[in-house]
Structure 1
Amino acid sequence: MSSAPPGSSSLPPATGTPRQPGVRPTLALLALLVGIIAGIGAAVFRGLIGLFHNLFFFGHFAIEYDTLKHTLESPWGIGVVAVPVIGALLVAFLVQTFAPEAKGHGVPEVIDAIYYKRGVIRPQVALIKSLASSISIGSGGAIGREGPIIQIGATFGSVLAQWTRLPEWQRLVLIACGAGGGIAATFNTPIGGILFATEIMLVEISARTLIPVMIATGAASFVGRLFFGNHASFIIPPMTLHAATSSSFRVFLAYAMLGLVMGLLGMLYTRSVYAFEDFFDRIPGNYYTRHALGMLIVGVMMYLLMRHLGHYYIEGVGYATIQDILDGHLTVTWILLALVLLKLVAVSLTLGSGASGGIFSPALFMGATLGAGLVNLGHGFLPGLEVSPVGGAVIGMACMVAAGTGAAVTAVVMIFEMTRDYNVIIPLIIAVSLAYAVRHLLIADDLYTLKLSRRGRRLPRAVESNLYLMRGALELIQAPFLRLDADAHLGALRERLTSRRTLPHVVLVRDGQPTGIITSDVLATALAADDDQTALGRYADPHYTLLNEHTQIIDLVSRLRGAGTRIAVLAPGDPPTTAADAVVGIVSWDDVMEHANLPGDLRGAAPS
């Protein structure tokens, strides 16, 4: 430990308790306002959906629309096929003309604004999102209303913060307030709203951020109850999950199997939406023609379902089908399993072709239908199984929300709030955990983050302290690397990689000095695309920063940004030796972002 130089005075020891940042009264009041607006916004948005639904399907103006009851057959007959097409053309006009951010399911745009736009969301997004999503859902699009409500509430929070000139951290808190308030008002799940904001939106977990979110979700729930009543979104019969009190190994095994299968469906759901988006992008034409084509197919599916099964089933939020399952009215196994596939295709067509709506409701729909269907199949193999189809549907809904959105804790608590039955907790924890784990094992991104990953937007995987920034780079990041001659070809590298499970960084060496670095991500592209005779020098980056082997992450980031490079070469000595055989580690910018759990831009321009 170093001592103070002669003649210098030491600081007196600190006395008292350090002042902790608390909740700002102004922020608390604004959070209350955001919660109230989120609750009112949820009610207005539901009214718009009812208005457009009645106008498109029956030709009259009314806002009454009970989503727990099936839509009656439209008087248009086969002409109902054109209803989603007309809605698609209107949506394309609104989105393309006024707010491209309103396209899709909304939540990724909010997350993007939080991490890459300093929480700034344009005010027109709320209006256009309200109109476009209500038209999409009202005209039969197989999507949900929760995503739009989240984006609408978040937009109001951002705009209010901009108007009042709040600092960035408070702006981000109000965005989370709007998002959590939207969920709370929609499902009458205030705790679920808090957890959704915490798991998906908040970049800081502390009293100064959580208390405003709690205020907002409480206010939104209160306002929502004034409009919708004090009941959950679904009427779930009592004692639905009475088997959860059983300690039977077969019961817990059944819940575990249900969670595993739901994880597979969550992966398919995630990939399907963006696979259809890529498919429609490749079709000749423009936004109007592509979206109209996708919704024409959805319209045909709706019409055929009405003709052969008596209901439109896949149109809109699909809550009537879920309620049928919970009431025990929809029990035919093949219909349940067919509806899973049809809803998956319909939501992928709707969102992939360019609609504006959410992914939450379709997840609930598919979770309920598959859960009930699998339990029916289980009874065929194990006649004495103490799990009801209704219980399977309830567990399935939570599993699909967790697997699809990545909000696992939110899913458990929301279903608990809906059922108000403590017996649900154990099966929920088992099934939801496994569903989330399987989906994450098969694809790291969920429906929210995959859209951003496809844009090259890297997001933190957790909310945590800055402890890792103080770790030594080599202590935290142990990326493998190997040295090769600068004149080597890809074939020689392939031979060296046969015994390796992970791709290393490669240091190219000439005359004992590094001439360039090939990072593992560049290497993966090269191995997949080129033949063995390609020179490795083609892929090497000659620009790197030479640092001491004990450099901390925070200093490494600063040096990389200052030098405008993406690669650090670590070696002993001060200054570090330049000899290639002295290199003890290679750290790329992507290594830092992954291991230190940092956003790709660190609130600024990343090295290029």
Structure 2
Amino acid sequence: MKPDPESRDKKPASRWLRRERGLEKLRLQLSAQDALAPLLAMALLTGIAAGLVTVSFRLLSESPSRLYLPMPDQFEALPLVWRFALPVLGALVLAAMYHLLRPSRRHTGIVHVLDRLHNHQAQMPAWNAVLQFLAGSVALLSGQSVGREGPAVHLGAASGSLLARQLKLPNNSVRSLLGCGVAAAIAASFNTPLAGVVFAMEVVMLEYSVVGFLPVILAAVIGSAVTQLVFGSEPAFTVPAIQLNSLAEMPVLFFFAIVIGCLAGAFIHIQRRLAPVQRKSPAVRFLTAGVVTGIIAIWVPEVLGAGYDTLEKAILGELALTVLAIIVVAKFATTLLASSLGIPGGVIGPSLFLGACLGGIAGALTNIWLGEGTASPGFYAMVGMAAMMAALLNAPLAALLAILELTYNPNVLFPGMLMIVVACLVSRHFFRTEGIFQETLRSLNKSGTPSWRQQMLSRVGVASVMERRFSIAPQRISEAEAARLIAPSPLWIVIDLPEEPAPQVLRAADLASFLQRLEEARKENREDKDAGADEPIDLLKLPGERLQLAALNWRATLLEAQAKLEKSGAGGLYVHRGLSPALDKNVAGIILPQHIDNFYRQ
């Protein structure tokens, strides 16, 4: 659409920025990095949505199990034949569900969330979330060796992302609401709001700022409130207030942490090698995981499901040393196979399970070696949970706070901190891993942790930093039109070229200098004062700096703007607001490379 210079010269093309109200004004405010108040309002809605979805998922994944189990997760009560048949039948159902969907809609879990956050502007597909909701429930109901937190994180992230998409918010705020959804989901899943906040910031968002933290905190509080309304406010595990009895036990804890770090590192390394198999047929993968889990469950039924009932027994010291050792080996194998082959569940719950059982083993051995005066096996189980979760997820602070909120026992902090440091050091330094989610991303040939510069640029929308002082003009204009064009003192003139693949931009100062030279030339030659006054000015031929422009939607972030500049090879971008990149009244502003450089150097 060719612009009307007569109307555009009088009103700059960015006038819509100053007249918007209501939701449009909110969208523009959210494009800024420090839009705290509107972001808190969106975090409130995200917390409600993510909390409701997470509670619904938990009800769907637990309530039907009462038809064949005395209590949710008590798979030990099943007859021998059903210990084998249930995970196999579940694998068949999952294979049928995945077979009905094309490959792009089969991705689920925390790895999928990180991929969409870092590589797709936090846009979460709705179909993948639906699959996660249904398939995750089937996996848990059929006793697959996975946890419910991974699906909850996916569903929470999707709640924030889809809410932002429905409201047509800028992409930088989509990213923030995804983090709010993650925090609310973790908080709602286990009633652990503080751990939800730190997990979202430490594992997913990789960001620590006041503007980043406050909306996530609010969303986690709302998510926890929703789950308390439905399930009550009691902690997930009821344990006595046990504590470390003597500093003489610290060497035992140190050695125990090394063992946990080694197991976590081995788990990540093996999964990294097996993860590419997830591109294969889901039927083969799921049946393999289901059959192996079923066979092991015949003798060790504790491997079925997330195993929270067994975890609590380990904390209470109700399991014998030999039983704990067998359970650890069996659970390690089944969880590793289920996670590596793509069963739609999580590894956070199994990591707590493994840590608790390993802790129970360490506590029992310590009681044998050092006597009954040492701490109970339950205490070792609690600190073992923190160490294993931290080493496997590369989330030390989230793990420490999760155990504190799950047990309400502050005595775990001091020894837990030591064990987390040692376990993470072993896993990261000696096994050279960065956490199971990042390593799985890399094994699937997807980019992992973004650089600090990418992080910074992704937090800001182009609408908050674009140059708004511009005017739009056709290639040829009269001298009078040129004078009216520069009257509002724009910095740039966007030259509309309908016949060309892209418009160009000219410095308004160059046009002003050209007009001044024309005026001076006429003053020197008075008899030809009106000569050439009717000849049009070609904005592509007058002396000056011109840059070719490429189109960019106003919802984009500065990181997307930088990528568009690199990909297109253009000298700048014009930000458009409509569905079409045509130069019409929806043009909002201009982004040049110096705008991006100036922002991140501030």
Which TM-score bucket, shorter chain as reference?
A: 0.5 to 0.7
- How far the C-alpha of 1:65 sits from its partner, in A, is 4.5
- In the aligned structure 2, how far is the partner of 1:461 from the partner of 1:236? 40
CA contact (8 A) 1:273 1:351 kept: yes
CA contact (8 A) 1:162 1:171 kept: yes
Residues 1:393 and 1:464: Cα distance change in structure 2 (over 3 Å): farther
> Is residue 2:425 matched to residue 1:437?
yes
Residues 272, 443 of structure 2: 8 Å contact kept: no
Q: Whole-Å Cα distance in 1 between the matches of residues 424 and 108 of structure 2?
A: 20
In structure 2, relative to structure 1, the CA distance for the partners of 1:80 and 1:413 (3 Å cut) is closer
Q: Distance in 1 between matches of 2:233 and 2:434?
A: 35
- The answer on 1:236 being equivalent to 2:236 is no
Pick aligned residue for 1:30 from 37, 42, 50: 42
Whole-angstrom distance in 2 between the partners of 1:206 and 1:315: 40
| Structure 1 vs Structure 2 CA RMSD | 3.0
Q: Would the alpha carbon gap of residues 351 and 140 (structure 1) be closer, same or farther in structure 2, given more than 3 Å must change?
A: same
Contact residue 395 and residue 428 of structure 1 kept, 8 A: yes
Q: Secondary structure at the match of 1:28?
A: helix
Match status 1:45 vs 2:40: no
CA distance in 2, matches of 1:255, 1:142: 28
C-alpha change, 1:105 and 1:327, in structure 2 (3 Å) is farther
Q: Secondary structure at the match of 2:46?
A: helix
Answering whether residue 300 of structure 2 is matched by residue 302 of structure 1, we say no
1:347 partnered with 2:330: no
Partner of 1:74: 78
What corresponds to 2:437 in structure 1?
448
1:13 corresponding residue in structure 2: none
1:354 Cα deviation after fit: 3.2
Tell me how far apart the structure 1 counterparts of residues 277 and 299 of structure 2 sit (CA, whole Å): 24
Contact 1:138 1:316 in 2 (8 A): yes
Q: Give the superposition deviation at 1:91.
A: 1.3
Q: How far did 1:280 drift?
A: 8.0
Q: 1:94 to 1:35 in 2, by over 3 A?
A: same
> 1:161 & 1:203 partners in 2: Cα distance?
20
User: 1:34 touches 1:157 (CA, 8 Å); kept in 2?
Assistant: yes
Specify the alignment match of 2:304 in structure 1: 315
Partners of 1:455 and 1:122 in 2: CA distance: 19
Shift in Å, 1:293: 2.7
Give the 3 Å change call, closer, same or farther, for CA 452–169 of structure 1 in structure 2: same
Q: How far apart are the structure 1 equivalents of 2:218 and 2:102?
A: 30
- Tell me how far 1:374 sits from its aligned partner: 1.7
Measured in 2, the distance between the counterparts of 1:463 and 1:191 equals 25
Deviation at 1:390, TM superposition (A): 0.5
Contact 1:101-1:109 within 8 A present in 2 as well: no
2:405 is matched with 417
Structure 2: how far apart are the matches of 1:562 and 1:454? 26
2:173 alignment partner in structure 1: 170
Aligned to 1:267: 265
Asked if 2 retains the 8 angstrom alpha-carbon contact of 1:255 and 1:431, the reply is yes
Alignment of 1:272-287 (within 5 A): 272-277=270-275, 286-287=281-282
3-state SS of 1:208 partner:
helix
5 Å-filtered alignment, 1:155-234, equals 155-234=158-237
1:153–1:175 CA contact under 8 A, matched in 2: yes
With over 3 angstroms needed to count, the CA separation of the structure-2 counterparts of 1:21 and 1:155, relative to structure 1, is closer
- The share of aligned pairs that are identical, in percent, is 27
Q: 1:398 to 1:461 in 2, by over 3 A?
A: farther
- Secondary structure of the residue aligned to 1:313 is helix
Contact 1:251 1:385 (8 Å CA) reproduced: no
Q: Return the alpha-carbon distance in structure 2 between the equivalents of residues 99 and 143 of structure 1.
A: 24
For 2:337 and 2:362, how far apart are their aligned partners in 1? Answer: 25
Which of 279, 302, 317 aligns to 1:328? It is 317
Per the normalisation by structure 1, the TM-score is: 0.66
Distance 2:409 2:338 in 1: 35
- Assess if the C-alpha contact under 8 Å between 1:129 and 1:148 holds in 2: yes
The answer to whether structure 1 residue 405 and structure 2 residue 407 are counterparts is no
Q: Counterpart in 2 of 1:291?
A: 286
Matched, 1:109 2:149: no
**Deviations 1:188-226 (CA, angstroms, capped at 9, x unpaired):** 111111101110122543232211111100000111111
The 2-side partners of 1:280 and 1:462 are apart by 27
Taking the aligned partners of 2:311 and 2:211, their CA distance within structure 1 comes to 38
Task: Flag the 1:105–1:256 CA change in 2: closer, same or farther, 3 A.
Answer: farther
CA distance in 1, matches of 2:104, 2:345: 12
TM-score, length-normalised on structure 2?
0.67
Give how far 1:155 is off.
0.6
Q: Residues 325 and 264 (structure 1 numbering): CA distance in 2 closer, same or farther, change over 3 Å?
A: same
Question: Which one is further off, 347-356 or 115-124?
Answer: 347-356
Matches within 5 A, 1:129-144: 129-144=132-147
Structure 1: how far apart are the matches of 2:304 and 2:455?
46
Q: Judge which range, 416-425 or 398-407, deviates more.
A: 416-425
C-alpha change, 1:174 and 1:375, in structure 2 (3 Å) is: same
CA contact (8 A) 1:123 1:156 kept: no
Give the match for residue 356 of structure 2.
368
Distance 2:255 2:386 in 1: 14
Please identify which structure carries the higher helix content.
Answer: 2
- Offset at residue 66 of structure 1 (A): 3.7
Residues 203 and 325 (structure 1), Cα distance of their counterparts in 2 relative to 1, 3 Å cut: closer
Cα deviations by residue, 1:559-593 (Å, 9 ceiling, x for unpaired): x96899xxxxxxxxxxxxxxxxxxxxxxxxxxxxx
* Alpha carbons 1:237, 1:326 under 8 Å: kept: no
Supply the AA of the counterpart residue of 2:243.
L
Distance 1:563 1:33 in 2: 37
Cα drift, residue 281 of structure 1: 7.1
1:402 Cα offset (Å): 0.4
Match of 1:258 in 2: 256
Q: CA deviation at 1:436?
A: 0.8
Asked if 2 retains the 8 angstrom alpha-carbon contact of 1:125 and 1:152, the reply is no
Q: Which amino acid aligns with 2:408?
A: R
Picking from 75, 87, 92, the partner of 1:89 is: 92
Contact 1:295–1:349 (CA<8 Å) still a contact in 2?
Answer: no
For residues 373 and 40 of structure 1, the distance between their equivalents in structure 2, rounded to whole angstroms, comes to 38
Q: 1:242 deviation in Å?
A: 4.3
Q: Distance in 1 between matches of 2:225 and 2:277?
A: 43
Cα deviation, 1:294-338, whole Å, max 9, x if unaligned, reads 201211211223xxxxxx2110010010111122221x1121111
**Which structure 2 residues correspond to residues 45-64 of structure 1 after superposition, within 5 A?**
45-54=57-66, 57=68
Partner amino acid, structure 2, of 1:125: N
Query: For 2:156, what is the secondary structure of its paired residue?
Result: helix
Give the 3 Å change call, closer, same or farther, for CA 360–333 of structure 1 in structure 2: same
C-alpha distance in structure 2 between counterparts of 1:295 and 1:26, whole Å = 47
What is the SS of the residue equivalent to 1:98?
A: coil
Find the residue that maps to 1:120 and give its secondary structure.
Answer: coil
Shift of 1:26: 3.2
Higher relative contact order (CA 8 A, sep 6+): 2
